[in-house]
């Protein structure tokens, strides 16, 4: 079946059975979601019970004691919306402007690696779902489907969201440059350079499970790349620096975003280099444990950059109310990571589409109940100042 037809059926709430795949954990996609699957947590429960322990350990794992993941959720929960009543709601719109482009809503799919662990269609399923819901899509360097194949599946959809490529710098610049050129040629519209993971975090759940990628699940974009020196010393020796950011910016015509910024000083330095925007992120708690929640870091970075640099935030966003709070703190859009993985494992492209639709529906409800009709003109007093002051005091 043509990708376009599959996309339209996903948008309508139906999806055909997936084709056979070589390698990976091929899972049967239901033609409709079961009754009672109404929230992101329902997809999480289905993923937890449906995935093998090895794969669940990978998807759910966090660094250390999970302090950062809990802080991310607590950060959004601590903020309280301060609704206004009797506001005229006609014409309510979730449209936002991101780096000069108009988006139907502020939701983008985060770069999630190794998606064929979760479903046989892998990243193509997520990309189709994102396109069906007019969400942006960021493909990981560590995708199990070649970047060209993913782009071809959605590139010509007229009403899709942004199509971006996330870049992990490789051991030598020639290989990094090859990825950049391939992304440009395939039609990706921006690069997202991840800078907060020079080494893997200490993930106890993965170590206890003895996590290994199963046979047939490979990083398709790096299939011919040698492993290189995997020792700590070797990894540290080739960890990215500010000089690498400047080098990447000089190599491409694409807008360059920096993902993994938490400190205001780093935000100012990136802004001085002329990047297109920043992703305020702590990698979902998968790298360094004990960092600030992204809800805490976001307003500091917005202040440090003077409100002139586009900001995207991720980490712990599970409800439409979280999305509204993020935009009230200064974000232009949000990335959705683990919940996309849950939806993919739960029901393939249909599950991812449902996750995005739920968040958008919840966002619309939160806007209406808060008296907000436009995300482009957010009221300054949308958040309860007492709750905001308490959170600020913890920074």
Write out pLDDT tens, residues 146-196.
Answer: 999 999 999 999 999 999 999 999 988 999 999 999 999 999 999 999 999
Is residue 4 annotated as involved in ligand binding?
A: no
pLDDT for 199 equals 83
In a domain, residue 284? The reply is yes
- 203 in a known ligand binding site: yes
Cβ–Cβ under 8 Å, residues 17 and 167: no
Q: Which residues of 245-256 are buried (b: 16+ CB within 10 A; e: fewer)?
A: beebbebbebbb
Radius of gyration from C-alpha coordinates of the chain: 20
Q: Note whether residue 18 is domain-resident.
A: no
Q: For position 22, what pLDDT does the model report? A: 30
Does 5 map to a domain?
no
Model pTM score: 0.91
Give the per-residue pLDDT at 13: 57
Neighbour-count burial for 17-51, b at 16+ CB within 10 Å, e otherwise: ebeebeebbbbebbeebeeebebbebbbebbeeeb
How far is 266 from 225, CA to CA, in rounded Å? 30
Helix (H, G, I), strand (E, B) or coil at 39: coil
Is 371 known as a binding-site position? no
265 within domain boundaries: yes
In a domain, 229, yes or no: yes
> Does a structural domain hold residue 24?
no
pLDDT at 15: 45
CB-based contacts of 361, cutoff 8 Å, min separation 6: 320
Residue 336: predicted pLDDT: 99
- Please give the pLDDT value at position 224: 58
At residue 55, φ and ψ (nearest 5 deg) are -70, -40
pLDDT for 239: 80
The C-alpha atoms of residue 363 and residue 338 are separated, in whole angstroms, by: 18
Expressed in angstroms, the distance from the first to the final Cα of the chain is: 52
Tokens (6 digits) for 312: 């995207």
Is 80 marked as binding a ligand?
Answer: no
Burial bucket for residue 214 (CB in 10 Å: 0-12, 13-18, 19+): middle
Whether residue 308 is annotated as binding a ligand: the answer is no
Can you give the three-state secondary structure of 294-338, one letter per residue?
Answer: HHHHHHHHHHHCCCCCCEEECCCCCCHHHHHHHHHCCCCEEEECH
Q: Can you give the CATH number for the domain in which 43 is found?
A: 3.20.20.70
Is 168 assigned a ligand-binding role in the annotation? yes
Q: Are strands 101-103 and 96-98 parallel, antiparallel or unpaired?
A: antiparallel
Asked if residue 20 belongs to a domain, the reply is no
CA-CA distance, 251 to 57, in Å (whole number)?
Answer: 37
Q: Tell me whether residue 325 is annotated as binding.
A: no
The structure tokens listed for 34 are 């079961």
Residues 206-227: pLDDT tens digits?
Answer: 888 889 899 889 999 996 554 5
Number of domains in the chain: 1
**Strands 191-194, 256-261: pairing kind:** parallel
263 assigned binding-site residue: no
Which residues are identified as catalytic?
Answer: 283
- Look-up of token digits 């794992």: 61
pLDDT at 20: 34
Which residues of the chain have a pLDDT value below 50? 1, 14-27, 226, 230, 232
Q: Which domain holds residue 233?
A: 36-393
Residue 191 counted as domain residue: yes
In whole angstroms, what is the distance from residue 346 CA to residue 76 CA? 25
């Amino acid at each position: 079946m043509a990708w376009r037809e599959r996309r339209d059926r996903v948008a309508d709430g139906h999806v055909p059975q997936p084709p056979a795949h070589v390698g990976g954990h091929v899972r049967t996609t239901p033609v409709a979601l079961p009754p009672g699957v109404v929230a992101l947590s329902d997809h999480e429960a289905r993923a937890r019970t449906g995935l093998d322990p090895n794969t669940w350990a990978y998807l759910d794992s966090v660094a250390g004691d999970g302090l950062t993941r809990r802080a991310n959720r607590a950060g959004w929960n601590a903020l309280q919306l301060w609704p206004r009543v009797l506001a005229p709601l006609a014409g309510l719109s979730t449209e936002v402007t991101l780096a000069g482009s108009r988006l139907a809503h502020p939701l983008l799919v985060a770069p999630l690696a190794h998606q064929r662990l979760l479903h046989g269609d892998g990243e193509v399923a997520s990309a189709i779902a994102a396109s069906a819901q007019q969400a942006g899509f960021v493909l990981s360097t560590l995708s199990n489907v070649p970047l060209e194949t993913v782009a071809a599946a959605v590139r010509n959809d007229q009403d899709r969201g942004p199509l971006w490529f996330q870049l992990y710098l490789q051991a030598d610049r020639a290989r990094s440059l090859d990825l950049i050129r391939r992304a440009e040629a395939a039609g990706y519209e921006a690069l997202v350079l991840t800078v907060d993971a020079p080494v893997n975090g200490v993930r106890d759940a993965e170590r206890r499970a003895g996590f290994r990628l199963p046979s047939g699940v490979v990083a398709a974009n790096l299939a011919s790349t040698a492993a290189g020196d995997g020792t700590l010393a070797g990894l540290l020796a080739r960890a990215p620096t500010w000089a690498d950011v400047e080098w990447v910016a000089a190599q491409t015509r694409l807008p360059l975003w920096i993902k993994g910024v938490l400190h205001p000083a780093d935000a100012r330095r990136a802004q001085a280099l002329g990047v297109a925007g920043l992703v305020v992120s702590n990698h979902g708690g998968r790298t360094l444990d004990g960092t600030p929640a992204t809800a805490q870091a976001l307003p500091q970075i917005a202040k440090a950059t003077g409100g002139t640099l586009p900001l995207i935030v991720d980490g712990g966003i599970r409800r439409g109310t979280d999305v509204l709070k993020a935009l009230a703190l200064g974000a232009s859009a949000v990335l959705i990571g683990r919940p996309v993985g849950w939806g993919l494992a739960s029901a393939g492209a249909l599950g991812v589409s449902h996750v995005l639709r739920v968040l958008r529906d919840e966002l619309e409800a939160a806007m209406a109940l808060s008296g907000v009709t436009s995300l482009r003109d957010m009221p300054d007093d949308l958040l309860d100042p007492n709750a905001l002051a308490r959170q600020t005091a913890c920074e």
